[in-house]
Homo-oligomer: A and B are copies of this chain.
Amino acid sequence: MIEILRQHIVGRLGNDLDNLDTVLNCFKTVTIDRNQFLVQEGEVCKYVYFIVKGCLQVFVYDDEMNETTRDIVIEGTWCSELISFGSGKPATENIRTVEHSELLAIDRQGFQKMMETVPQFNKVYKQILETSYANSVYRINTFVALSALDRIKWLMEFRPKLMTRVSSKLIASYLGINKDVFSRLKAKL
């Protein structure tokens, strides 16, 4: 399982990393069922997760307990409530498994150690943060002005796997449209 992460890191930072194994030992394996919370609003997010296998939903509740999904994340990527993880303040979002998942988790202490051990890792937090920020900006700029139909077309173009992998309900909450509307419009494509 750690091998997947090794490949991910080597693919990004190159093959000439000293102490990579030391770093990889900072991660602990998490095997977890579907529909389990990894982070809950109001609690501090203690880990950054690397998804080896599975799928996570990052979302908030509105006052009627409807879910709005900010992101759906699958294997091969990082996931965390970064602001909470970095600051130690309570999280403002929830993270839950959508499927049975296999994760690698690193806590703050391990993260620190990682940055001290492998110099190149100094940039990892910054990189994750920058990527997350860029994604958010993109999502705002893309979605705010799009119609429901165009949002669905966007999904099919840029995240086609999600269409078949996760429930319509989840996708609808990600796209910010009603699930019935999603079902109707999808049929017309």
Which A residues lie at the B interface, using CB under 8 A?
60, 62, 66, 68, 70, 82-83, 86-87, 92-93, 126, 129-130, 132-134, 136-141, 143-145, 176
Contact = CB atoms under 8 A, between A and B. Distances in A.
Contacts of A140: 70, 136, 139-140, 143
12 contacts: A66-B145, A68-B145, A70-B137, A83-B134, A83-B137, A87-B130, A92-B141, A132-B133, A133-B136, A136-B140, A139-B140, A144-B176
Contacts of A139: 140
State the 10 A-B residue pairs at the shortest beta-carbon distance, nearest first.
A136-B136, A144-B176, A133-B133, A68-B145, A60-B141, A83-B134, A70-B140, A68-B144, A70-B141, A136-B137
A143 B145 contact: no
The count of identical subunits is 2
Given A66-B145, A145-B66, A93 B137 contact: yes
A130 B82 CA distance: 9
A176 B70 contact: no
